[in-house]
Amino acid sequence: MIRALPASARTPVPWKNGGGVTREIAAWPEGAGMDDFAWRVSLAEVAADGPFSAFPDVDRTLTLVEGAGMDLTVGGARHLVDTRYVPRDFRGDVPTDCRLLDGPVVNLNVMWRRGAGATTPTVAVVRGRLRVGAGALVVALDGTADVAGVTLQPYDAVQLGGAEAPLHTHGRSAVIGFDGPVLAADAPLA
């Protein structure tokens, strides 16, 4: 059983600090806001230079999926993010400033609250054929992907239920693994 999370169903929401927009793919608990999620996965559109929103007690993995990249300053340390599909970890509660390298970018964001009862999610960008673990979230990034008989277009996602499933990518896909709660008991499954 899987839960389909189509890109067409996502609405843009302003960043917590108003400096960009994000489109939530999934969060736990379901319906959680920016201040009370245990974990959250989204696509963030960065159209201008400026600070990232601060998230107290939150860690994050950011993966550049569109655009030339960003020059980030995280807690005073410079981090050049100019290669697509490479997950990068940093703390969400450390002041982070962004300078775009050559126009807008889109980032896959995985955020989790420290001490929220779940361990650190795993984030991998994959190509080819593999089996994906129970509870994992799969997001097609470029090209399509087939997961347990469901075809994903770019930015479509599925969340697996209680069993592992085959994944065949025709491009790159992100696979996010969780230890801890991933689906509500009454979540609709495809």
Asked if the structure places residue 80 within a domain, the reply is yes
Asked if the structure places residue 28 within a domain, the reply is yes
What residues make up the domain containing 139? 122-177
Asked if the structure places residue 157 within a domain, the reply is yes
Q: Which of 76, 92, 113 is the endpoint of a domain? A: 113
Same domain, 24 and 58: yes
Q: Which of 71, 96, 113 is the endpoint of a domain? A: 113
> What's the predicted TM-score (pTM) here?
0.90
The confidence score (pLDDT) of residue 189 equals: 34
Contacts of 31 (CB under 8 A, 6+ apart): none
Asked if the structure places residue 189 within a domain, the reply is no
- 56-107 per-position pLDDT tens digit: 999 999 999 999 999 999 999 999 999 999 999 999 999 999 999 999 999 9
Q: How far is CA 54 from CA 43, 57, 66, 110, in A?
A: 17, 9, 23, 14
Give the confidence band of 181 by pLDDT, cuts at 50, 70, 90.
Answer: very low
Give the confidence band of 183 by pLDDT, cuts at 50, 70, 90.
Answer: very low
CA dihedral 114, 182, 63, 115 (to 10 degrees): 0
Asked if the structure places residue 51 within a domain, the reply is yes
- Cβ 1 vs Cβ 187: under 8 Å: no
Same domain, 109 and 173: no
Same domain, 102 and 129: no
Mean pLDDT value across residues 12-25: 86
Same domain, 134 and 90: no
- 132-177 per-position pLDDT tens digit: 999 999 999 999 999 989 999 999 999 998 889 999 999 999 999 9
Is 182 a residue whose pLDDT tops 50? Answer: no
Same domain, 32 and 87: yes
CATH number for the domain spanning 86: value is 2.60.120.10
* Six token digits for residue 38: 């245990």
DSSP string covering 90-153: EETTS-EEEEESSS-EEEEEEEEETTSS-PPPEEEEE-SEEEE-TT-EEEEEEEEEEETTEEEP
